Structure 1
Amino acid sequence: MLDHSPDHAPHHSPGTAHVAVEADVAVIGAGPTGLFAVFECGMLRMKCVVIDTLEAIGGQCAALYPEKPIYDIPAHPAIAGGELIERLEAQAAPFAPVYLLGRRVEALQEKDGGLFELRTSKNEIVRVRAVILAAGAGAFGPNRPPLNDLAAFEATGAVRYMVARREEFRNKRVVIAGGGDSAVDWALSLKDIAARVTVVHRRPKFRAAPESVAQMEAAAGRGEIELAIPYQLHGLRGGQGELDHVVLATLKGEEKAVPADHLLAFFGLSMELGPIAEWGLGLERSHVTVEPATCATNIPGVHAIGDIATYPGKLKLILQGFSEAAMAAHAIHPRIFPGEALHFEYSTSKGVPLG
């Protein structure tokens, strides 16, 4: 079984599909339900590969409300979305899942011998024996600015829509575009390590927490942050995917070029089922119909859990998604280990099987 990330895979030309990972189960969606599915599969000795369109794990919790408290997680009177993801990641870590982030599954094909081949948007082939759809309300994708040559700068990481590691921006010139909490919060977070931070917004009013906006404006007054208002993104300058300037323009056509190594564009996320809608699954109002006891879809070997799954009595709660993850993992076990009896044991007596 191949068990490495694409970063350590042999180089292949962009036009050639190659096998990136072979595993037991592909979990599509790296939100809380998907991460818990990795743990449940791991407890049953099944190896997982996790695929998500976002560049970091966490789904809605990380992308939309990392600091927002969640009140209905058992044993936690309140826990921030970002902290919940950190703990779920740590819980899954002993089972060494492979994460394929920043790509979506474009196609699902059944092969002989009970195998599935999934093709990602980066032309990778993932081979597994079962699939768990944990895609929330569908695939999340960033709202991209309409700029020429954008893809070339995205490929090198010069243009990004999320921040996974703050340290990557140390001593870099960063342009942040957007008027919401993400733009303001990251401007405040990066001002102490970046060489230069410029915030671009089309109007003086921001849609962020008032206290955060006040802190940003105070930082701008001290010269720690540059505010480019009222400007919008107009173009990118550089070569071979390396950024050197972001071109800004007003509605009147006045332009200026800001030196930059990175552009962080925070214009929100779009949600859609995407290619999943073409897989022949039973759909009901953009949700996947499943058997309540196993979360099985109409395609044997494919299960759906979390917000994307629907059945009579379904509650859209994270804790119900956790329960569905356990049911799906147990239903998949006979497919991975045919003929092997599964003797259920409580984790208190079984522990976490490592290695």
Structure 2
Amino acid sequence: MTETITTDVAIIGAGPVGLFAVFECGMLKMSCTVIDTLEEIGGQCAALYPEKPIFDIPAHPRIDGAALIRALEEQAAPFSPQYLLAQRVEALRPEEGGFTLTTSAGRVVRAKAVILAAGAGAFGPNRPPLNDLPGYEASGAVRYMVTKREEFRGKRVVIAGGGDSAVDWALSLKDVAAKVIVVHRRDKFRAAPETAAQLATAAARGEVEMAIPYQLHGLEGDGSRLSAVTLATLKGEEKRVEADHLLAFFGLSMELGPIAEWGLGLERSHIAVEPATCATNIPGVHAIGDIATYPGKLKLILQGFSEAAMAAHAIHPRVFPGEALHFEYSTSKGVPA
């Protein structure tokens, strides 16, 4: 028989905003269960840019994604959240006194309120249309993100794409890789002008090799270990470059999944909420972070943090009906030992 988990608040999404929601709910003595499709907490910060610096977190002039997630996990730890990872919420059913959620792993969660902190939904990489791709993906020869820069030390790395991720990692890996080749179909990049200029300078110095105007055409190797990548122009001209790794940065495909079927007020795959409480059109369900939209919304982590606090305070009367909420600052209230 499946065990039912009972909690005050179910938080869907274990990214930075979802983790801070655990802290805000905990400060109001509300327990939380956090559910996420990824195998580890952190959302895109952990999966896509753990070593990339973030500059707009208050009191942190510079902090990388992984360090931010570690700090948020430590901040939430005193409130003993339960994490259900590598599974997504398949169904949300309102019932008397709250909601029942069921996950793809067969877990059942009963909660008095729900906070959706699912970013822009479940995400996955846009894969290049290449033969024998699964084998090279399984071995790590073909990747769509970088988690540890040191794994590429002394390696020959082909980076495909023209956006911020491709340019940023080309600049970062040139200092550790034996060789970095950037593949793009045109000489204009979609990255920030400053970093695009830095890439051009690195190429002029011979620190990075540019393959323009080329696109990915094929992979060479034994089906697991990569030996070379074949490139081609639109005219059919081919070029072979030796490589140990291919990093393909063609963006992410986002989908809300079952969330889209729950009757929430969707606006272009985002959920419309009340700005002061982050409440959706379903009483007891609140949305925060990138998935939430309202007039004047800024897609910043720091705004998501603020929304987490507002949602937690709005949920308190539902969890503790009839109990007055006396606001206290953390400096005087403290956290559990």
Q: TM-score, normalised by structure 2?
A: 0.72
Among 187, 192, 202, the residue aligned to 2:170: 187
Distance of 2:213 and 2:41 partners within structure 1: 31
Deviation at 1:316, TM superposition (A): 0.8
In 2 relative to 1, CA 262–93 (structure 1 residues): closer, same or farther, beyond 3 Å?
farther
Q: Is 1:91 the counterpart of 2:72 in the alignment?
A: yes
Counterpart in the other structure of 2:17: 33
Distance of 2:143 and 2:41 partners within structure 1: 11
Distance of 1:35 and 1:320 partners within structure 2: 14
Counterpart in the other structure of 2:147: 164
Report if the CA contact (8 A) 1:29-1:59 is conserved.
no
Deviation at 1:90, TM superposition (A): 0.9
Counterpart in the other structure of 2:297: 316
Distance of 1:210 and 1:284 partners within structure 2: 31
In 2 relative to 1, CA 181–294 (structure 1 residues): closer, same or farther, beyond 3 Å?
closer
Letter in 1 for 2:311: A
Q: Deviations over 1:11-67 (max 9, x none)?
A: xxxxxxxx9x9794554445553342132234336344352679984659976xx66
Counterpart in the other structure of 1:118: 103
Letter in 1 for 2:247: L
Distance of 1:235 and 1:99 partners within structure 2: 40
In 2 relative to 1, CA 146–28 (structure 1 residues): closer, same or farther, beyond 3 Å?
farther
Distance of 1:55 and 1:263 partners within structure 2: 24
Report if the CA contact (8 A) 2:89-2:102 is conserved.
no
Q: Deviations over 1:264-300 (max 9, x none)?
A: 1122344453442123323345432446665444556
Letter in 2 for 1:93: E
Counterpart in the other structure of 2:91: 108
Report if the CA contact (8 A) 1:53-1:141 is conserved.
no
Letter in 1 for 2:90: A
Report if the CA contact (8 A) 1:106-1:275 is conserved.
yes
In 2 relative to 1, CA 347–167 (structure 1 residues): closer, same or farther, beyond 3 Å?
same
The 3-state SS of whatever aligns with 1:132 is: strand
Matches within 5 A, 1:127-138: 127-130=108-111, 131-138=114-121
Identity of aligned residues (%): 68
Distance of 2:40 and 2:144 partners within structure 1: 8
Q: Is 1:303 the counterpart of 2:283 in the alignment?
A: no
Unaligned runs of at least 5 residues, structure 2 = none
Q: Is 1:228 the counterpart of 2:203 in the alignment?
A: no
Counterpart in the other structure of 1:283: 266
Q: TM-score, normalised by structure 1?
A: 0.69
In 2 relative to 1, CA 190–298 (structure 1 residues): closer, same or farther, beyond 3 Å?
same
Report if the CA contact (8 A) 2:101-2:109 is conserved.
yes
The aligned length equals: 321
Report if the CA contact (8 A) 1:156-1:242 is conserved.
yes
Deviation at 1:228, TM superposition (A): 2.1
Letter in 2 for 1:316: K
Among 241, 244, 250, the residue aligned to 1:261: 244
Distance of 1:186 and 1:46 partners within structure 2: 39
